[in-house]
Structures are given as C-alpha cells and as structure tokens.
Structure 1
Amino acid sequence: MPALKQLGTVVIECADPAALAAFYQKATGWEIAYSDQDFASLGDGTPVQLAFVRVEGHQAPGWPDGATYMHLDFTVTDLDGATEELLGIGASRPVFQPGDGQWIVLTDPEGHPFCLTADTTGN
C-alpha cells in the first residue's frame, strides 16, 4: 500500500488569503470553510480542497519565467465563456499562451497562473 492515500488540500502561498479565497469561491462556487487574515480554505465536499496561507513579503510567481513552480488546472464546459467570466471577476490573461489553443492560461488576482481546459468527456 502506498504511503500517501489521497491528496486532501492544495495550499497556495499568498499576500491576502481572504481575498484570494473570495476570488476562487466566485470562480468555483465552492463554499469558504474558514477565513481570517492569515489563512483561508474552501471546498464543497470534493476530495481536494484549496487553502491559502499568508506569507509576509510574498511575491507573485512570474509567467512564463522559471519562478513558477506549480499551477492549478481546471476543466470547464465552455472554454471561451469560462475565460470571459473569470476575467470579469479579477483574473488576467497573460500574452504568452502555450499549447496552440488546447488550453488557456490565466492568472489569479495575486498572479498565480492557472489553466483552463475544455471538458472533452461531455460530462
């Protein structure tokens, strides 16, 4: 049996956990489970939750420079519609877009990159 059973939470370092949790709450529809000035988390009973922790002096990762160590991928039903909705709530769309249109890279309000890919399963 593997030592690690299941991924439970992805924790993202940031300057303002409550604000970043609010952005992802609007983006995902997941409920904010906890929020204060140093930590916030959200999830809707899904196996993996998102959490945000304050790091003093936090600097946003660069895109597409080598300072980006990880990013989130989200599957969406309508790639263009989801992109417009996320831009409307505070995401940004960097000029550099790899993948020849197979996915779209956006950044959250603190500059963390995340990708949108179209759901090809029809679910």
Structure 2
Amino acid sequence: MPPQMTLSAITLDCPDPRALAAFYQQATGLEPHPESNADFAGLTREDGLVIGFQRVDDHRPPSWPDPTVPQQLHLCFDVMDLDEAEARLLELGAGKPDHQPHEERWRVLTDPAGHPFCIVRG
C-alpha cells in the first residue's frame, strides 16, 4: 500500500523567524525558502522538505530537561564528528544544556530560540 501522507514541512515557533532560519542555514547549508518574511522563514532541502520558523509573540523556549515548558519535539542531525560539530554550533550561537544523556553517542544542544536538537554521530 502506498503511503497516505508525505512529510513536507516541520515548523518551529520562535520570536524571530529570520534569525532562527539564519542559524539553521549556517548549521546545515540548506537553502532559504523563497517565501520567507518577518513572520515566517523557511529552509528547503533538495527533496522539497521545509524546516519552517514562525513568529509567536511571547514565545517561551522549552526548558529541557525540566518539563515545566515541554520541548514537544526536537530535530536530530547526523554529523561526522561530534566534537567538531558541537564546537561549530556553539560558535554559531547554540547552547549546551548540562544534562547530556548519552554524550558519547549524541549531544543535546539548543538553538538560539531555546529549542533542543540533537547531533548524532552518523
């Protein structure tokens, strides 16, 4: 049976869509979505998948690992070298929470808007 749905976009709430898109563009090399603006910015992959960032007034960043403000979702990115990727992402403005459940296999970082994401040895 063919799939009933195809994933076309993942969208994160944030206070500044253009700034968050710039962070992820520098981190991933994805291309800016042509319809990006002050309220929504996106990045596209060659296969058409969009990572979107939408403006939300009074955005409250997740408080991972504390569930007071749940993360609700997180993105994972494969990398060749965990230490090298982590250093580069921290230079771009990522944060690194103290709690690292399996630091030898993956690292949990936060983007500039506070969303947790993982880098995984690929």
TM-score, normalisation: structure 2: 0.90
Q: Measure, in 2, the Cα distance between the counterparts of 1:100 and 1:107.
A: 14
1:13 — aligned with what?
Answer: 13
- Partner AA of 1:81 in structure 2: E
Provide, for residues 40-78 of structure 1, a one-character-per-residue CA deviation record: whole Å limited to 9, x for no partner.
Answer: 010131353200011111110111012111100110011
3-state DSSP of counterpart to 1:91: coil
Unaligned runs of 5+ in 2: none
Q: Measure, in 2, the Cα distance between the counterparts of 1:2 and 1:60.
A: 37
Q: How does 1:1-123 map to 2 (within 5 A)?
A: 1=1, 4-33=4-33, 34-66=35-67, 67-119=70-122
Q: Measure, in 2, the Cα distance between the counterparts of 1:5 and 1:69.
A: 21
- Partner AA of 1:55 in structure 2: V
3-state DSSP of counterpart to 2:42: strand
Greater shift in the superposed pair: 105-114 or 46-55: 46-55
TM-score, normalisation: structure 1: 0.90
Q: Measure, in 2, the Cα distance between the counterparts of 1:76 and 1:41.
A: 22
Count residues with an aligned counterpart: 119
Cα RMSD (Å): 1.5
3-state DSSP of counterpart to 1:115: strand
